[in-house]
Amino acid sequence: MELDRVRAEVAKAERVVVLTGAGVSAESGVPTFRGGGGAAVWRGLPATTLSSAEMVASDLNLVWEWFEYRRGLIASCAPNPAHEAIARWQTRFPGFTLVTQNVDGLHQKAGSRDVLELHGNLWRGRCTRCRMVAELPETPLGEIPPTCPACASALRPDVVLFGEMLPPGAFERAAQAAERADVFFVVGTSAVVWPAADLPEIAARRGAFVVEVNPEPSGAGGARAVALAGKAGELLPEI
Ligand code: NAD
Ligand code: ZN
């Protein structure tokens, strides 16, 4: 059966890459965008309008209020067995890379280190003037917008908003890991949007064994990839 095949590949793997999306946090109670949950529309505005560079320029306070709402939701969420299994894997293989599209910080909360964050992190701000990055663990924030510890200008969320570029080098580092992977996991992401779609393709082309873990597999990684249909929090600990 598929799970045994995956186990056999994982047992002999030296380099493992895991790419995660919103689905890995679904069992922690974090709403996915496409899964609804009230987070896709807030005060009548779609997330695509709220989370945009235009809104940062025109109404930074509104952007922060929306992020405060999301930070508040996520502050009460704990890592689930999928995050925990992935955190254990970092010491199981000679080479391990975790790449996430999530901004919730739950991988780090579960103990993962050196997480390659493609879309930034809700718990950090970035200066609109000097670009300094500051940790913002407290919720609610004392002031909106929070200010830069270096130059006192307004911080914006250190998150990639709709229409913005990825942090410099993030995709390149993820692609490098994908090129060298023996096993590449795609967990909880619909993998239709760049770069999520490209990374398993890159890995598959270089001969990696690609495994998708998703209750509704999207076909990531092409025809030779294996799909484990189910919840990440149930399947990953079994692997
Ligand atoms: P997405 O496109 O990554 O889709 C979510 C996927 O998760 C779907 O394919 C769904 O079938 C799958 N899924 C649902 N429950 C699952 C489970 N228990 N185990 C495994 N897979 C499961 O995510 P999206 O919500 O459409 O978001 C698009 C972008 O926004 C991504 O960058 C995403 O990471 C980001 N986002 C992040 C968070 C977060 O930080 N937790 C939340 C919402 C959105
Ligand atoms: Zn500054």
> pLDDT tens digits for 68-98?
999 999 999 999 999 999 999 999 999 999 9
Q: pTM of the full predicted structure?
A: 0.94
Task: Tell me: do 20 and 97 sit in the same domain.
Answer: yes
Question: How far is ligand 2, taken at its centre, from the CA of residue 157, in Å?
Answer: 13
Task: Tell me: do 84 and 21 sit in the same domain.
Answer: yes
Question: How far is ligand 2, taken at its centre, from the CA of residue 126, in Å?
Answer: 8
The verdict on the CB of residue 215 being under 6 Å from ligand 1 is yes
Which residue range is the domain that position 147 belongs to? 33-76+120-159
Task: Tell me: do 113 and 125 sit in the same domain.
Answer: no
CATH of the domain at 218: 3.40.50.1220
Task: Tell me: do 231 and 150 sit in the same domain.
Answer: no
User: Is the pLDDT confidence value at 48 over 90?
Assistant: no
Query: pLDDT category, 224, cuts 50, 70, 90?
Result: confident
Number of domains in the chain: 2
* Adjacency order of strands within the sheet including 155-159: 133-135, 120-127, 155-159
Task: Tell me: do 150 and 130 sit in the same domain.
Answer: yes
Question: How far is ligand 2, taken at its centre, from the CA of residue 152, in Å?
Answer: 6
The verdict on the CB of residue 21 being under 6 Å from ligand 1 is yes
pLDDT per residue as tens digits for the range 110-141? 999 999 999 999 999 999 999 999 999 999 99
Nearest CA among 13, 56, 22 for reference residue 215? 22
The verdict on the CB of residue 104 being under 6 Å from ligand 1 is yes
pLDDT per residue as tens digits for the range 141-164? 999 999 999 999 999 999 999 889
Provide the CB-side half-sphere exposure for 142 (13 A, CA): 5
